[in-house]
Chain A
């Protein structure tokens, strides 16, 4: 896998997600589609297991750093490191586990995985935030609201996944994925017999 390509795409999607989420929100709710988790699922679908998991962790950590939250009844702002990192890691792990059952070049598979993967990520994040809200009452977090917002946003992510799957599949050669199945060679390029990866 080409980490530079993943980093560049991740950087672009983090910025775009921050800019587009308010505009794409459903009415006055906070339900808006995710972009970064689509990339996480895309990488997890094609990359070696460890690379996929590290990608999820890193992009989740970046997402955490950009996700300011309110504390002390709106009187303070705080940044919680970890929920999205662990959540994206869980999403990547989920995709890695079930990718063997998927037709990976089918665009609908990517849409499905993005929706389910982001739901897994948000459930994991909501669990950690629930624990945090018990241990740290100063934080203004309602785990139920986080969960419903996250699951609603996960469904909405189908839209962004459908929009992103075509360009991602077109540029899959840039990512330098090597098929994790023996003897399949490079994904998006010519097969190279003899090169395998466990």
Chain B
């Protein structure tokens, strides 16, 4: 104590400020201890923040997890899950086909589609949001004690992609989920299927008719027509970006994106179990002079969410696992 008593407070303040300014700018590998201190701070503050979050969620009505009619909700969920599985299998099939074409002698490079045996689902309450500046994570009540692993994907209502658990985002009992709409997420590639347009059935029919009326070349499989788009979070709860230029099909009207179409994740940087999950519905489309279309996609879910489902693919840790609720 005596050794510190002669330390000038002004000098100490200047030294502390200098050290903190340096820590703020040096790369993360020089501050590996920050995560541990953050965990302690999170633990210490939680007696205040957790009850307050509960109160806030009680006052601010979260997004309903299920529609009011249970039968309709069940049918809708089943339909969405079948669609999800269908598109995922088709994407995997197409990828395999491409690899077979290009690397016919390298069979071991084929990706392994997710099998149901590997996939586990964890239902977790959303405790609130957490983060600094422009980034806000969802804090969920599931952690490594429940077998949750980094890179797991969070969904709402079975097939609507909410976000994923980043590296360093899992603690024993809670985890952080970075929403796909957060600016920190960066760009994602989605596939928009012109045939899957719930808002405009006439467009679906026209596309099908146009695609099948081609007489010069073999008609493409209408279900295989899709447009890729690179979307980035717009900071207002949605994602926006350019769609790829539609391929010209002989004798057919090139497919275009219209409002109401469904955008599904088709990004190799995401885990296989996340592919073809619904990112959102096309809310607006603007055409550029060069014919490219600028899409704005909004997820079905809105914050605050009451709960999410976490899709975990890695094997559960021994003696753990199971739903958290």
Contact = CB atoms under 8 A, between A and B. Distances in A.
Co-complex (A, B): yes
B303 interface: yes
Contact of B135 (A14, A86, A125, A140): A140
B45 to A, nearest CB: 5
A66 interface: yes
A168 B27 CA distance: 39
A82 B17 CA distance: 8
Given A128-B24, A135-B27, A136-B28, A78 B52 contact: no
Given A50-B10, A142-B134, A145-B183, A75 B166 contact: yes
Contacts of B55: 19
Nearest to B184: A70
B71 interface: no
Main secondary structure of the interface of A (DSSP, over half): helix
Contacts of A65: 34, 37-38, 40-42
Nearest 9 pairs of A and B residues by beta carbon: A67-B132, A15-B48, A82-B24, A28-B237, A70-B184, A19-B52, A73-B186, A22-B129, A74-B185
Interface residues of A, number: 62
B268 interface: no
Chain B interface category by residue count: 35 or more
Interface in B51-73: 52-53, 55-56, 59-60
Interface in B288-321: 302-304
Contact of A74 (B41, B136, B186, B238): B186
B182 A70 contact: yes
B270 to A, nearest CB: 9
8 contacts: A29-B236, A30-B235, A65-B42, A71-B184, A73-B185, A75-B269, A80-B28, A140-B185
Contacts of B59: 23
A84 interface: yes
